[in-house]
Amino acid sequence: MSDAAAMRRTNLETDVLVLGAGIAGLCVALNASERRVLVVCPDEPVRSSSSALAQGGIAAPIGASDSVAAHILDTIEAAAHFADPATVSRVIGDAAQAVHYLIDSGVPFDRDGAQLSLHREAGHGAARVVHAAGDRTGEAIVRALWQRAQAAGHIEFLGNARAVELLVLRGHICGARLLSPRGPIAIHARDTVLATGGIGRMFRMTTNGPFATGDGLAMALDAGARTAALEFVQFHPTALYVQADPLPLLTEALRGAGARLITAGGRPVMAGRHPLGDLAPRDVVSRAVWECQQAGEIVLLDATSVFNSPQAASFPGALETARRYGFEPSRQPLPVTAAAHFHMGGIAVNDHGASSLPGLWAGGEVACTGLHGANRLASNSLLEAVVYGRAIGTALNLGSTPAVSGTPDAATEAAHDPEHDPRWTALRELMWHSMGPVRDGASLRSAIAQVSTEIEGCQLGDAVLRRRLLLARAMMQSALARSESRGAHWRRDYPQRDPQQDAPSSATA
């Protein structure tokens, strides 16, 4: 079916509907080879996914002096002892296979001679990050999977469309309603897979791709799916602070190579804050940057030493990014900001990516598998997207979710895209201030009240915005309920970890 042919019809049927074409969605579609699959995405995967922006790579314990056990320990440690140990063991145990699957799919990973080249990243006790095209790993993976998916006989694509509502029939999910330039389209499906990525764009400052608006998670929450750990959002400390949305990322490896964070007045930002200084964990550095910014200081990343040394050759992407925005990193420090980067929480799923609602599956960043706990270990998310994408595809091959007869609940409202709605801009600002790297009870309570007022004021046509507001409120409520500081969730009013709160939170809309 061509895009054009699909657009002429407003009611379509498929066997499996995959929403999203990042690494998770493409892996699901490719692996569900026994089923008829329709993949819906708003734009070409390379332009529309966070996957394509991934720089560092994919973590796998395949080095000669590495082990699955060591990678598991690092993951659990980074997760502030909040990860699900069984999930961690299973995913890390499958990592080598996941990398080989990508190689077989045509991903040209970088090599040192015959061996895969491995980088070491913060939080990892060994060099175990497989990468491609230097610091353009995500793009290389997406291009290879996309090419394969386009050639696969069982997969069809519908581009220039995005889901705005799940079709629900007596508690079963049986497809989705889409927004397209030609108006709404309903797609009926036996199985529906959410692979819509993260929620970074719910924050004013983000590194995430243009469609990481949280709509997939918001639709699932609104439909009654169980969610978990919504309060845990990872912030990246060094996004380039320029007029861009998303903000370009400056890799942490620059600090590993000697770059330092300073204020415009020349004060070292990390001095006295952590024994590892600029190489402290990501959440610690993000809070330091955020606090400087709240105090009205400009924060700079001084990478001049790196770009005046042979190490500069390792950072072609960072150099190109800086120059694109008019900076010469060998001569001047670069303005940076903390920015929303990754969501550890999401739709609660089992080992095969099945959600609590029959007919609904979730994979990749939109899901909460328990792998990341309160803080993701760098480069574990591409791994999770591949492992769960494949697991969902395999589970789908075993059979369809039984059909439910009847007509799904009618769409309650027409929906428009709120991208240019001032209430969406205001929500992103509110999320940044109340749900950013440093939180407190008073700001969260005030933000919840503001969001509740906005929800009450929503009109016909505000369905997408209303769901984003519901999701924002659920995230704020989870952050308020977690009266402790753990991993990426930092409460100024509760700066200690509380062992009584070891269980993941869940939320309903």
242 binds ligand FAD (CB under 6 A): no
Q: Which stretch binds ligand FAD (CB under 6 A): 143-151, 193-201, 272-280, 448-456?
A: 193-201
Residues 6+ apart with CB under 8 A from 313: none
Selected binder of ligand FAD within 31, 38, 42, 136 (CB under 6 A): 42
185 binds ligand FAD (CB under 6 A): no
61 binds ligand FAD (CB under 6 A): no
21 binds ligand FAD (CB under 6 A): yes
Instruction: Write down the least CB distance from residue 386 to ligand FAD, Å.
Output: 9
Residues in region 328-357 near ligand FAD by CB under 6 A: 342
55 binds ligand FAD (CB under 6 A): yes
Q: Which stretch binds ligand FAD (CB under 6 A): 48-56, 67-75, 408-416, 473-481?
A: 48-56
Closer Cβ to ligand FAD, 304 or 321, answer by number: 321
24 binds ligand FAD (CB under 6 A): yes
Q: Which stretch binds ligand FAD (CB under 6 A): 69-77, 191-199, 264-272, 467-475?
A: 191-199
Q: Which amino acid is at 59?
A: A
Selected binder of ligand FAD within 192, 196, 227, 314 (CB under 6 A): 196
Residues 6+ apart with CB under 8 A from 210: 43, 47, 48, 201, 246
Of 419, 416, 420, which Cα lies nearest the Cα of 180?
416
- Yes or no: say if 338 and 301 are a contact pair by the CB < 8 Å rule: no
Cα–Cα distance for residue pair 443/320, rounded to 1 Å: 39
> Per DSSP, what are the bridge partners of residue 163?
178
Alpha-carbon Rg of the chain, whole angstroms?
22
DSSP classification of residue 442: H
Residues in region 204-223 near ligand FAD by CB under 6 A: 207-209, 211-212, 215-216
Closer Cβ to ligand FAD, 21 or 360, answer by number: 21
Q: Which stretch binds ligand FAD (CB under 6 A): 77-85, 261-269, 364-372, 421-429?
A: 364-372
Number of H helices, E strands in the chain: 16, 20
Distances (CA, A) of 33 to 106, 152, 192, 350: 18, 8, 15, 21
Of 293, 300, 292, which Cα lies nearest the Cα of 238?
300
450 binds ligand FAD (CB under 6 A): no
Q: Which two tokens stand for residue 3?
A: 């895009």
Selected binder of ligand FAD within 17, 57, 167, 202 (CB under 6 A): 57
369 binds ligand FAD (CB under 6 A): no
Q: Which stretch binds ligand FAD (CB under 6 A): 68-76, 105-113, 195-203, 497-505?
A: 195-203
Instruction: Write down the least CB distance from residue 249 to ligand FAD, Å.
Output: 4
Cα–Cα distance for residue pair 205/226, rounded to 1 Å: 27
Q: Which stretch binds ligand FAD (CB under 6 A): 7-15, 165-173, 194-202, 276-284?
A: 194-202
Selected binder of ligand FAD within 167, 195, 261, 427 (CB under 6 A): 195
14 binds ligand FAD (CB under 6 A): no
Selected binder of ligand FAD within 6, 16, 19, 217 (CB under 6 A): 19
Active site annotation includes 282: yes
User: Using H for helix, E for strand and C for coil, what is the string for 236-293?
Assistant: EEEEECCCCCCCCECCCHHHHCCCEEEECCCCECCCCCCCCHHHCCHHHHHHHHHHHH
Binding to ligand FAD by CB under 6 A, coded x per residue (else -) over 139-168, reads -----------------------xx-----
Catalytic residue among 204, 282, 486, 491: 282
User: Using H for helix, E for strand and C for coil, what is the string for 455-482?
Assistant: HHCCCCEEHHHHHHHHHHHHHHHHHHHC
Cα–Cα distance for residue pair 254/303, rounded to 1 Å: 7
Closer Cβ to ligand FAD, 207 or 369, answer by number: 207
Number of residues that bind ligand FAD (CB under 6 A): 45
382 binds ligand FAD (CB under 6 A): yes
Residues in region 246-275 near ligand FAD by CB under 6 A: 249
31 binds ligand FAD (CB under 6 A): no
Judge residue 503's burial from the number of C-beta atoms within 10 Å of its C-beta, 0-12 exposed, 13-18 middle, 19 or more buried.
exposed
Of 51, 251, 34, 38, which Cα lies nearest the Cα of 144?
51
Instruction: Write down the least CB distance from residue 382 to ligand FAD, Å.
Output: 3
Cα–Cα distance for residue pair 197/209, rounded to 1 Å: 9
Q: Which two tokens stand for residue 180?
A: 């397209």
* Farthest-apart Cα atoms in the chain, separation: 68
Distance, C-alpha 212 to centroid of its chain:
7
By the criterion CB under 6 A, which residues form the site for ligand FAD? 19-25, 40-42, 45, 48-51, 53-58, 137-138, 162-163, 195-197, 207-209, 211-212, 215-216, 249, 342, 364-366, 379-382, 385
**Could you give the residue numbers annotated as active site?**
282
